[in-house]
A and B are shown apart, each in its own frame.
Chain A
Amino acid sequence: MASLTANAPVEPSGPRPKRIGPGRYGVYAFLIISALFFLIPLYVMIVTSLKPMDEIRMGNLFALPGSPSFDAWIKAWSQACTGLNCNGIHVGMLNSIKILIPSVILSIAVGSVTGYALSFWRPKGANILFAILLLGAFIPYQVFLYPLVRILSMVSLYNSIPGVVFVHTIFGLPLMTLLFRNFYAGIPIDLFKAARVDGGGFWAIFLRLMLPLSTPIIVVAAILQITGIWNDFLFGLIFAGRENFPMTVQLNNVVNSSFGEKEYNVNMAATILTALVPLFVYFVSGRWFVRGIASGAVKG
């Protein structure tokens, strides 16, 4: 080994000679090819949205736009048509925001209290409740849909924004509860006991002790709920009603049911606009997003 060099044998001393083997190149090659696979659709989406239709018809998907313009974006934002309505995708965006904000707040509020009660107080039946909630997280929504539609119509919430908010809260509960329960399970029970000894009641301990400690998990929960609810299609389609369709539903209607010639650049611009909010959350939150996936997925 010492005599690998052309010179006279060297007495091994100091750091081992560095050998950058083919394996190392292989690692990077694999990672770069994978990165291309993940990036190409994003790239295609962006360049298409910046091209005029003439250029797109030439059939060169990967070419950079000859003269980039935001016309398609403007059209997507304010003129894109769903059926006979041509008010653009911004209508959906407003609806999505109106649905998003109350849904996120409400689901986190209910989930955190439930998780807190389940992890520290464990009243009778807590285990059963938790088991059903967990199962609920995995059951296909299709089983719940029709009866929920009927219930919501009875209380006049069907086809309204409060109705969708309610549905998001219901189906966000399992994940939110799990998240907070696992988080609170990691807080030393002695802290809770000390608070009890000091005379703290259910709400006092929650509001003054646990909630201030919960900032990290609230951030994680907010990230998961914002992306999750923004990306929802099914509930928005069924419960919001035509006037209140969220952005995803409107986007699909724009792209998949437009009359006449398909305007791919407008479609892609609308798609990017719809993806902006979750992408922004993702890039800003970084590690928190990963943490959210992990804490939602793995037992804490």
Chain B
Amino acid sequence: MKPRFLRFWMAQVALAPAWLIVIFAYIGTILWTIQISFTSSKVFPVSNYVGFSQYTRLFGSERWIISVQNLAIFGILFIVGCLILGFLLAVFLDQRIRAESVFRTIFLYPYALSFIVTGLVWQWTLNPTLGIQQTVRNWGWESFTFDWLSRGDRAIYVIALAGMWQASGLVMAILLAGLRGVDGELWKAAKVDGIPTWRVYLHIVIPILTPMFVTATVLLATAVVKVYDLVVALTNGGPGISTEVPAKFVIEYLFQRQNLGLATAASTVMMITVLCVLAPWLYVQYFRQPRSAH
């Protein structure tokens, strides 16, 4: 057998691509981005350090503030909506119903689609002149109005709806797997104890599913921060700037408005927010030793 250091040497060689990616493409680029955010760079990066003034400008920018507000509205509606709808779908699917796999396939297929496709489909379906609104009016309900896509104060809700349409199936799949994993004897015990079904879900099943809910929430939250294509396809930030989101803000200032300093400041803020939310979850999920093995 080879000497010990040699065996591990080979493992290190195998990990070299991963290390290179992590060091240069992840850490290196992040540090570079942060560095630029402290300069007055416009079209090209310059070394003129201006402290936190890009960050001050950022939070003075109406466009950014609207973006952050939109992200909050979208995020809460999208996450809560997906969790509730996904949970209900999973529970109802778990009632020994007929054609379960057909329903499951229908609920999950949007998740296989591109956000661009989702955005365009909903843009067309809710098209104020030829979409659902006009269709219902043609049916005889003349005053029916559903023009949220063209209303600055409502369009963000449409984006949340489209997001839910796409991602509820994900929650359903995760929770359904969790429900199937619940010990069948627990249900029997609850039946012998005479506990009504809804109470079993409330007091016994939901607590058991907590880790799945957390996982689903983390996945959804990541999607929220990254949300870009959906907005581009559905509203392109409009009407006006009413549905701008941070990810889009950054791309635009990087590649169209050519304000590197501001864009990198915004992306740094995004990253820090994500890290604050994620760190505890990652720690619990992957690095903490379980308290007691079952």
Contacts and interface: CB of A to CB of B under 8 A. Distances in A.
The answer on direct contact between A and B (beta carbons under 8 Å) is yes
A273 to B, nearest CB: 10
Contacts of B107: 34-35, 38
Interface string A132-164: 111111111111111110110000000000000
A278 B112 CA distance: 6
Contacts of B292: none
Given A34-B107, A147-B33, A275 B124 contact: no
Contact of B125 (A61, A110, A130, A267): A61
B52 interface: no
A74 interface: no
Contact of A129 (B18, B232, B251): B18
Contacts of A124: 8, 12
A39 interface: yes
A175 to B, nearest CB: 11
Nearest to B270: A140
Interface stretch (A1-9, A81-89, A249-257): A249-257
A94 to B, nearest CB: 17
Given A38-B109, A118-B15, A256-B236, A143 B10 contact: no
A245 to B, nearest CB: 12
Nearest to B111: A293
Contacts of A61: 125, 130-132, 134-135
A233 B115 contact: yes
A103 interface: no
Interface string A179-203: 0000000000000000000010111
A127 B278 CA distance: 17
A295 to B, nearest CB: 10
B121 A39 contact: no
Nearest to A132: B22
Contacts, number: 275
Interface string B114-125: 111110111111
A279 B11 contact: no
**Interface majority SS (helix, strand, loop, mixed), chain A:** helix
A219 interface: no
Contacts of B8: 121, 123-124
Contacts of B114: 230-233, 248, 274-275, 278
A279 B15 CA distance: 34
A131 B287 contact: yes
A170 interface: yes
Contacts of B65: none
A211 interface: no
Contact of A298 (B32, B108, B212, B275): B212
How big is the B interface, by class? 35 or more
Contacts of B93: 31
B143 to A, nearest CB: 15
A290 B11 CA distance: 32
Contacts of B200: none
A147 B28 contact: yes
B174 A57 contact: no
A209 interface: no
B135 A28 contact: no
A225 interface: no
Contacts of B122: 41
Interface string B77-111: 00000000100110011010100010111111111
B7 interface: yes
Contact of B254 (A131, A146, A252, A279): A146
Nearest to A126: B15
A148 to B, nearest CB: 6
B234 to A, nearest CB: 10
B120 A271 contact: yes
B250 A142 contact: yes
Contacts of B24: 151
A173 B18 contact: yes
Given A61-B132, A248-B117, A293-B170, 7 more contacts: A140-B226, A140-B274, A231-B116, A232-B114, A248-B114, A274-B117, A278-B112
Closest 4 CB pairs of A and B: A59-B134, A231-B114, A282-B112, A121-B11
